[in-house]
Chains A and B, each alone.
Chain A
Amino acid sequence: MTKVLTDARSIRIKGRSFLAVVLSPDLPLDQWLERLDDLAARSAGFFLDRPVVLDVSELSIKKAELKQLIDDLAARKVRIMGIEGARPSQLTPEMPPAMKGGKPASDVEVTAQEPETEAEADVAATVSPAPQRQEAPQVRAIPQSLTIDEPVRSGQSIIFPEGDITIVGSVASGAEVIAGGSIHIYGTLRGRAMAGSIGNSNARIFCRRLEAELIAIDGIYKMAEDMDSSLRGHAVQLSLEGETIMADVLF
């Protein structure tokens, strides 16, 4: 039996990756800022309107110093959208959010406005970005999968944008599983499962028992209270048909 789970006006929540400029400061910070100023002087406006991520993974500084660094950058009109590689103890709620899972891209050329007289500036504008879309013809990638042999506990997130996730166990209330591909749960799904999270409408969710708080495929999502109550407690397969999540009771 197949039931329609979504109405036409569902909200889409999608994952999307963007290229950002990554700044990786080194110690001492005042000297690094000096070099940054030098770079900025030669390429006015380089950081304007660019998403900038601050990579502090190689930097052992305290919370107060990190805050000062963010302020120093703000004073230079460099706005940080996220911080990579920080320890939780370094972060405060006022700071930009922590980011992880960044993938390297080619370095960005910082074009100097004046002829590069002091071109030796190895200003680690360690930078990556170049807001170009990655639409290079892709060789069919080998499908990737992640298998978890334990229950996913409340408060845990399993995120695997590269492919399918298989869980041999249950997904607890307050836990979440996010896959680029399909999600297979050999147990009870009580938390959240989001399949096809970076844009894959063929992704599916399978679970041995559906008690989910939220399910989503390719950005189309459904909360517990919007799900047909007769599906609860059953082994279910969820898939997308157009903009509608369909559910099949499996046994």
Chain B
Amino acid sequence: MGKVIVVTSGKGGVGKTTSTAALGAALAQRNEKVAVVDFDVGLRNLDLVMGAERRVVYDLVNVINGDAKLPQALIRDKRLDTLFLLPASQTRDKDALTEEGVERVIGELKKYFDWVICDSPAGIEKGATLAMRHADVAVVVTNPEVSSVRDSDRIIGMLDSKTLKAENGERMEKHLLLTRYDSVRAERGDMLKVDDVLEILSIPLLGIIPESTDVLKASNLGAPVTLSDARSAPAQAYFEAARRLAGEIVPVTVPGEKRGIFGKLFGRKAA
């Protein structure tokens, strides 16, 4: 059975879709079968970032409604044959998603893929809650600024209460992906520091993705940055994050700084 990851944030424009595509392509390059799923019904984007917009025939809503079978809706990446996209519908809205429908589709995807990565819409409404509902692992995408951090905090609270895992009394595994990190602005003190974000959110750090024009270039080319420009700084950071997701222990480096941070250890001793 594959692992289901939700890429979520609360706030829009922080890099969820970029990260879904980049992590998906990075994991697929490890020869693991990956499906990226666009939950942003009505505002689909993932197909563009993946460069598959002209190949969309059926979408998530069609599969939920039974108009199409899952294999008919899945689009195989032209460059990586282990990478697939399940696009969102652009013409419908989030009410077209049903709890049972999503459960069935995710259940089916888990059988065929090692990783099912769900790109969540912004907000805390139905689309976002359904995207996180069946996840095993959450990647919380946050920019180093207060409103993004607070929205992520809110989302973490929902991950711990509104998901199936939470309702079954289990703990959702949560990781922080700090994106659009600008070392020059961090140096000037215009952005929250990594340590501050970690202290506020207190979940483990999956990686820090630098702010970079390479990301925009990649999305204009219609390719995840880990495919179009694997040597670039953001791609390298995404590759490392993907290795951590897969369970490898790789120290995190803060862009612009030499030292690595190993996160905080909350040790516990018998008194």
Contact = CB atoms under 8 A, between A and B. Distances in A.
Contacts of B271: none
A153 interface: yes
B202 A174 contact: no
A181 to B, nearest CB: 24
Nearest to B159: A153
Interface string B33-70: 00000000000000000000000000000000000000
Given A173-B150, A174-B150, A174-B154, A153 B160 contact: yes
Interface in A174-233: 174-175, 188, 190
B156 interface: yes
A128 interface: no
A188 B149 CA distance: 15
A156 interface: yes
Contacts of B202: 151, 169-170
A172 interface: yes
Q: Main SS of the interface on chain B?
A: helix
Contacts of B199: 170, 188
Contacts of B151: 154
A53 B150 CA distance: 35
A164 B153 CA distance: 24
Interface in A134-168: 150-151, 153-156
B73 to A, nearest CB: 30
Contacts of A175: 153
Contacts of B157: 153-156
A156 B156 CA distance: 11
Interface residues of B, number: 12
Nearest to B153: A154
B200 A153 contact: no
Q: Main SS of the interface on chain A?
A: loop
A106 B238 CA distance: 63
Nearest to A173: B150
Contacts of A172: 150, 153, 200
B154 A190 contact: no
Contacts of A150: 160
Nearest to B10: A154
Contacts of B146: 173
A174 B158 CA distance: 14
Interface in B124-170: 146, 150-151, 153-154, 156-158, 160
A44 B24 CA distance: 70
Contacts of A151: 202
B158 to A, nearest CB: 8
A188 B158 CA distance: 21
A190 B150 CA distance: 11
A146 B100 CA distance: 36
Contacts of A173: 146, 150, 153
B115 to A, nearest CB: 27
Nearest to B147: A173
A155 B159 CA distance: 13
B167 to A, nearest CB: 15
Contacts of A155: 153-154, 157-158
Given A153-B157, A154-B151, A155-B158, 17 more contacts: A150-B160, A153-B153, A153-B154, A153-B156, A154-B154, A154-B157, A155-B153, A155-B157, A169-B202, A170-B199, A170-B200, A172-B153, A173-B153, A174-B153, A174-B154, A188-B200, A190-B200
12 contacts: A151-B202, A153-B157, A153-B160, A155-B158, A169-B202, A172-B150, A172-B153, A172-B200, A173-B150, A174-B150, A174-B154, A188-B199
Interface of B: 146, 150-151, 153-154, 156-158, 160, 199-200, 202
**The 3 residue pairs across chains A and B that have the minimum distance between CB atoms:** A153-B157, A154-B153, A154-B154
